C-alpha cells in the first residue's frame, strides 16, 4: 500500500467511526468550556459594556487588545495560570483518548465500542510515560535548532535588510514547528508499538520508534505531512466560512458556534486519521505480532499447560519411535523361536514312532 493510499485509509477510518469522533468532540468541548467561561469573565471585567468592547466582538482592534493587557495585568496573569493548567488537563485527556483510539483501530477481539475504547484508554500510564521521556528528544532537537539559529543570525546580521530579518524569523518559527511535529510523530509511533505489542517499556518503545522513523524518514514524514495538508485545507475552509458570517445577530452567533463545533469534530476526525494511517504503515512494515489476550492470567496458564502437555506427548511419541526398531528386532527372534519349537515338535514325534 502506497503512502497516499495509507493517508486515504486513515481518513476512511475516521469517517467510518462516528462514535469515536463524537467521544473526542465531547472531550474537547468539556476541556475548552471552562477556559472559555474564564476568558469571557476576564474579558468582560476588563472591557465592561463600552462601545469598544462591542466593536471588538465584530472586528479585531489591536490597540484595544494592548490596552487591556497593560491595564488589567493581574487579571490576565491569573487567567494565564488557569489556562496553563487547563492546557495540561487537555494534554492529559488527549493521551487518554489516544489509547482508546488505537485499541479501536486495531480491532483485536471484536468487542463493542465502549469496552474496547476504555480498555485501550487504560494504557494511560504507559502513554503518559512516553510523553515524559519524549522530553529527552528535545536535547538533540534543541542542539539542531541552535546550530541553525546561529547560521541564520550570521546570514541576517545586516540591520538594514529588514525584510531578510523578518523572513529569517519566520524560518526559525517554521523550524521550531517542524521539530515539534517531528517529535510528536515519534511519540505516535511509540504508542502504536506499545498498543500493538502490549508492552510496558515506555523508554524502550520510544527508542525503537525513533529508530523506526529514522530508518524510514522519507516515508514517515511524507505520510505525516500529507495528512498535514488535509489539516491545513480544513483550517482554510473553516476560516473562509467563519469570515463570511457577520456575527451581528443572534442567529449568526449561533451559526458561528455550530461551525466552530463542526471544525472541532473534524479536527478530532483528523486525529483518528493520523493514528489510523500511521498504524497501517507500522503494521505494513513490521507486521502484527501474536500476543495472548490481555488480562487473562488463567488463559496464559492454560496455554502453558497445553504446551507442556503437547511437549510430553511429543516426547513420548519420540521415545516410542526410538523403541520401535528394538521391538521389530525382538519380534523376528520370537517368531524364529516359535518356528523352531513348532518344527522341533513334529520331528521328535517322528523319531519316537516305531
Grid cell of 193 as nine digits: 508499538
Distance CA 197, CA 289 (A): 7
Q: Give the rounded percent of residues in the chain with a pLDDT score beyond 90.
A: 36
Per residue in 314-336, pLDDT (tens digit) is: 445 444 544 444 444 444 444 44
Query: How much is the pLDDT for 185?
Result: 95
Distance CA 41, CA 76 (A): 11
Per residue in 199-227, pLDDT (tens digit) is: 889 999 999 999 999 999 999 999 999 99
Q: 200 by DSSP, 3-state: which?
A: coil
Q: Which residue has the higher pLDDT, 175 or 31?
A: 175
Burial grade of 110 (CB within 10 A; 0-12, 13-18, 19 or more): exposed
- Helix, strand and coil content of the chain, in percent to the nearest 5, comes to 85, 0, 15
Q: 209 by DSSP, 3-state: which?
A: helix
Decide if 66 is inside a domain: yes
- CA nearest neighbour of 213 among 286, 320, 117: 286
Decide if 302 is inside a domain: no
Per residue in 225-278, pLDDT (tens digit) is: 999 999 999 999 998 988 888 767 778 888 888 898 899 899 999 999 999 999
What is the number of domains present in the chain?
A: 1
Q: Are 121 and 99 in contact (CB under 8 A)?
A: yes
Distance in angstroms between the alpha carbons of the first and the last residue of the chain: 99
Decide if 67 is inside a domain: yes
> Which residues have a Cβ under 8 Å from the Cβ of 232 and sit 6 or more positions away?
none
Grid cell of 345 as nine digits: 515338535
* Per-residue DSSP letter, 174: H
Q: 149 by DSSP, 3-state: which?
A: helix
Decide if 178 is inside a domain: yes
- CA nearest neighbour of 183 among 120, 132, 230: 132
Q: Which residue's C-alpha cell is 515519534?
A: 186
Phi-psi region of 289 (alpha: psi -120 to 50; beta: other; left: phi over 0): beta
Chain-centre distance of CA 283, in angstroms? 13
Decide if 113 is inside a domain: yes
Decide if 10 is inside a domain: yes
Query: How much is the pLDDT for 63?
Result: 56
Per residue in 74-110, pLDDT (tens digit) is: 666 766 776 777 778 878 888 999 999 998 988 766 6
Distance CA 66, CA 192 (A): 44
Angle at 23 (CA atoms; ends 17, 26), nearest 5 degrees: 140
Domain limits for position 193: 3-291
| Secondary structure (DSSP) of 291-330 | -PPTT-HHHHHHHHHHHHHHHHHHHHHHHHHHHHHHHHHH
The answer, yes or no, to whether residue 190 has pLDDT greater than 90, is: yes
- The dihedral over CA atoms of 50, 53, 58, 61, expressed in degrees to the nearest 10, equals 120
Decide if 351 is inside a domain: no
Query: How much is the pLDDT for 193?
Result: 93
Decide if 88 is inside a domain: yes
Q: Are 275 and 192 in contact (CB under 8 A)?
A: yes
| Secondary structure (DSSP) of 62-130 | HHHHHHHHHH-HHHHHHHHHHHHHHHHHHHHHHHHHHHHHHHHHH--S---HHHHHHHHHTTHHHHHHH
Q: Which residue has the higher pLDDT, 42 or 221?
A: 221
Average pLDDT of the chain is: 76
Chain-centre distance of CA 84, in angstroms? 24
Cα–Cα separations (whole angstroms), residue 4 to 8, 189, 203, 280: 6, 18, 31, 12
Amino acid at each position: 500500500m502506497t503512502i497516499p493510499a495509507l493517508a486515504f485509509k486513515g481518513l476512511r477510518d475516521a469517517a467510518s467511526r462516528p462514535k469515536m469522533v463524537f467521544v473526542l468532540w465531547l472531550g474537547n468541548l468539556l476541556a475548552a468550556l471552562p477556559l472559555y467561561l474564564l476568558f469571557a469573565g476576564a474579558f468582560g471585567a476588563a472591557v465592561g459594556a463600552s462601545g469598544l468592547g462591542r466593536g471588538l466582538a465584530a472586528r479585531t482592534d489591536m490597540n484595544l487588545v494592548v490596552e487591556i493587557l497593560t491595564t488589567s495585568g493581574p487579571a490576565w496573569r491569573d487567567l494565564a495560570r488557569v489556562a496553563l493548567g487547563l492546557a495540561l488537563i487537555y494534554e492529559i485527556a488527549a493521551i487518554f483518548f489516544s489509547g482508546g483510539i488505537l485499541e479501536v483501530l486495531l480491532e483485536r477481539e471484536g468487542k463493542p465500542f465502549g469496552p474496547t475504547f476504555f480498555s485501550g484508554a487504560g494504557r494511560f500510564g504507559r502513554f503518559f510515560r512516553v510523553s515524559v521521556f519524549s522530553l529527552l528528544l528535545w536535547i538533540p532537537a534543541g542542539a539542531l535548532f541552535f546550530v541553525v539559529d546561529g547560521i541564520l543570525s550570521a546570514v541576517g546580521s545586516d540591520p538594514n535588510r529588514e525584510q531578510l530579518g523578518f523572513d529569517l524569523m519566520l524560518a526559525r518559527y517554521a523550524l521550531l514547528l517542524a521539530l515539534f511535529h517531528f517529535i510528536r510523530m515519534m511519540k505516535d509511533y511509540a504508542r502504536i508499538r506499545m498498543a500493538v505489542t502490549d508492552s510496558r517499556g515506555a523508554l524502550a518503545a520510544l527508542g525503537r520508534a525513533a529508530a523506526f522513523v529514522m530508518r524510514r524518514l522519507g516515508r514517515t514524514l511524507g505520510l505525516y505531512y500529507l495528512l498535514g495538508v488535509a489539516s491545513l485545507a480544513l483550517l482554510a475552509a473553516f476560516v473562509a466560512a467563519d469570515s463570511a458570517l457577520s456575527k451581528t445577530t443572534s442567529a449568526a452567533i449561533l451559526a458561528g458556534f455550530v461551525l466552530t463545533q463542526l471544525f472541532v469534530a473534524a479536527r478530532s476526525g483528523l486525529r483518528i486519521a493520523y493514528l489510523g494511517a500511521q498504524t497501517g504503515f507500522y503494521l505494513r512494515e513490521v507486521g502484527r505480532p501474536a500476543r495472548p489476550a490481555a488480562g487473562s492470567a488463567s488463559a496464559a496458564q492454560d496455554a502453558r499447560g497445553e504446551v507442556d502437555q503437547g511437549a510430553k506427548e511429543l516426547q513420548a511419541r519420540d521415545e516410542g519411535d526410538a523403541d520401535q526398531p528394538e521391538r521389530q528386532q525382538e519380534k523376528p527372534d520370537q517368531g524364529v523361536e516359535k518356528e523352531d519349537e513348532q518344527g522341533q515338535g513334529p520331528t521328535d514325534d517322528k523319531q519316537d514312532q516305531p
